[in-house]
Structure 1
Amino acid sequence: MARTLSIAVKSYPHTTFLAEPGFTAGGHGVELAGLNPIYQAFAPMVREQRFDVSELAIATYLQAREAGAPISLLPLALSGDFHHHSLTRWPGTPEIAPADLIGKRVGVRAYSQTTGLWVRGILHEEFGVDAKDITWVTTEEPHVAEYVEPPNVERTTGKVLDLLERGEVTAAVLGPPALDGAQGPLVPIIPDWREAEEAWGARHNTVPINHMLTVRRDLLEAEPGTVSELYQAFAKQIETRKAGETGSRVRALRAGVTDELVAGLQVAIDYALQQNVIRTPVTVAELLADFTRYCPR
């Protein structure tokens, strides 16, 4: 009997098929890790390849690849969104413009958190605020152990929301789970953020990618047919969801090497280099080289 594949992904509408009785890929059954929040899977995946298949934040994947982790990227974007609204202040605090954040302290779960990558890129691109001109107050270490954070990154304890409420940071970068679970309405700092998000999307021809699917490279090399079958199953569910739903989070989903996926990966690379999230240039083709080699279409 073929061994069971260990898979770590969040339960989205486009991933629930994995839990259906009898689902197999390449003759393998699957065992779901059941980690919540899903970013708890990221460090084990990049540090010890604990899972055969894992959702992974794109910033974490870029760092893991730079560090030499034997993990391959599949062209499947499992989550994403625009992030102009992710830069927030606490209700009732003084209004502040994005450019006023220079010299201030801004909270973010980790410097390498992907939502932070997008927000810092937006601040630089649209408001001339460089990442190095802000002190980034973090509550977690990088998932990739080899990564050395820039000198303007500080570590503290607790939750980013609490830091914001207590006034220990002027603003905070919060991903969708934190924003969705916040008590009361946080105030976006970027003005007219809805219009700004759509303008960014039109300019870059994409919606920012947060998480993609990765596999252990040894599994891909040994069983490309299994990985290809699994890829096709994910792609089918993503395309079905995109055909039936709207909204930026659904628009961000990707299956295949599309123009939007390539554009999203390229902007992520550019932002990551700009912010010292990675230090070595890489191309989109290089990111997808393993998939292209072992899972040709």
Structure 2
Amino acid sequence: MAPLRLSLGCWDYDRMKALEDGRVKAEGIDLTFLNLRVEETFFRQLKYGDFDVSELSLSSYVLTLNAPEPPFIALPVFPSRMFRHQSIYVNLKAGIQSPSDLAGRRIGTPEFQMTAPVWQRGILEDEYGLKYDSPQYFTGNVEPSAVERTEKVPLKLADSVKIQPIPKGKCLAQMLADGEIDCLESATAPSTFGTHPDVGRLFPDAKEVEQDYFKRTGVFPIMHVIAVKRSVLKENPWVAQSLTKAFASSLDYAYDAIHERAALRYILPWMQFHVEETQAALCSEGNERWWQDGLTPQNTRTLEKFLEYSFKQGLANKKWEVKDLFAPGSLDAFVV
């Protein structure tokens, strides 16, 4: 029988390279890897359903579950993870000495439902007592753009949430530098960070803060999942396990690459020491992998926390269980 032809919209992360270049093949599947930046992938998949399989924002994916007939179901594969203390920026003249000073302040964010700000709002409330609906939120493009940024998924937020789009022609990066907003919660760094004297990080010692946060909570924030159209799995339920196994094999290649010592595979001269430092900070004794797929105890804890935030912030219409997020066959892929 001929392999099933499927398209995958995903960025070419190191953990995806072996799938992209063909070193790893999903059993029974002829996979067309479309190397696209996340913004394009998310927009095209959520608006038009352009791909059979795609990388998706964790937050946007959870919000698709609000629909009477959700179009996607995820695999427990996490192409993007990132600690988010480092990407909260402030105007240094706004008098913000601690996160609690953001109460009642003006905070910019590209989209309220974006995964990164969901994490940031949740962490600021959990760790520093800043109620998520205390600030005033302003949504829009971080940088100048001819296309106005809007929420990819319709929202029904609590009346206590104060949110409005920024004026046409404005961008959050410059508004932060000019003092029109006091803070920016984002995934990307604004162009005014490092180039304008009034723009800095809320946490100047972000690396140490993030490592301490992980040490105390065991949470390594998940940003994206791999999602499959439910119509594909309805006709071919075996695809969930086949794809999940292939992603796991591709991740193995990424680990092999960063441990290579014969020559520098990447342009980081102290890669070995960075790997050792990361293992010391994020790995439990006897475990050398800090980035894992599947429903490990750490991943389950992380997803539970995100689902708590999504529901509390008025995004998800119910507090989902972690097992509800994933195709059953994909979970079987990790059973030895």
| Equivalent residue number for residue 43 of structure 2 | 43
What's the secondary structure of 1:4's corresponding residue? Answer: strand
Structure 1 residue 235 corresponds to structure 2 residue 235: no
Change (3 A) 1:126 1:294: closer
Over aligned residue pairs, what C-alpha RMSD do you find? Answer: 2.9
What percentage of aligned pairs have identical amino acids? Answer: 23
Structure 1 residue 259 corresponds to structure 2 residue 285: no
Change (3 A) 1:21 1:256: closer
Contact 1:59 1:114 (C-alpha < 8 Å) held by counterparts:
yes
Deviations 1:17-67 (A, max 9, x none): 23325865344433333433x122223323443211111111111111122
| Equivalent residue number for residue 58 of structure 1 | 58
**1:149-164 pair list within 5 angstroms:** 149-150=157-158, 151-156=161-166, 157=168, 158-164=170-176
State the TM-score, normalized to the length of structure 1.
0.86
Change (3 A) 1:206 1:172: same
Deviates more, 1:43-52 or 1:183-192: 183-192
- Aligned pair partner of 1:178 in 164, 189, 198: 189
Contact 1:78 1:253 (C-alpha < 8 Å) held by counterparts:
no
Structure 1 residue 268 corresponds to structure 2 residue 278: no
State the TM-score, normalized to the length of structure 2.
0.77
Distance 2:231 2:70 in 1: 11
| Equivalent residue number for residue 278 of structure 1 | 316
Deviations 1:67-112 (A, max 9, x none): 2422111111111111112111246664432111111111111001
The Cα shift of 1:237 comes to 2.2
Unmatched 5+ stretches in structure 1:
none
Change (3 A) 1:293 1:222: farther
The Cα shift of 1:180 comes to 9.0
Distance 2:21 2:204 in 1: 44
Deviations 1:147-205 (A, max 9, x none): 33454121124432222122221010121x43699554852213643333222212322
What is the number of residues matched between the two proteins?
Answer: 294
**Residue type at the aligned position of 1:125:** D
**Residue type at the aligned position of 2:240:** V
Contact 2:54 2:228 (C-alpha < 8 Å) held by counterparts:
yes
Contact 1:99 1:129 (C-alpha < 8 Å) held by counterparts:
yes
Distance 2:99 2:23 in 1: 51
Change (3 A) 1:133 1:252: farther
Name the one with the larger helix percent: 1
Distance 2:162 2:329 in 1: 36
Distance 2:138 2:53 in 1: 31
Deviates more, 1:43-52 or 1:182-191: 182-191
What's the secondary structure of 2:54's corresponding residue? Answer: strand
Contact 2:76 2:331 (C-alpha < 8 Å) held by counterparts:
no
Distance 2:126 2:18 in 1: 39
Contact 1:111 1:149 (C-alpha < 8 Å) held by counterparts:
no
- Aligned pair partner of 1:225 in 221, 238, 248: 238
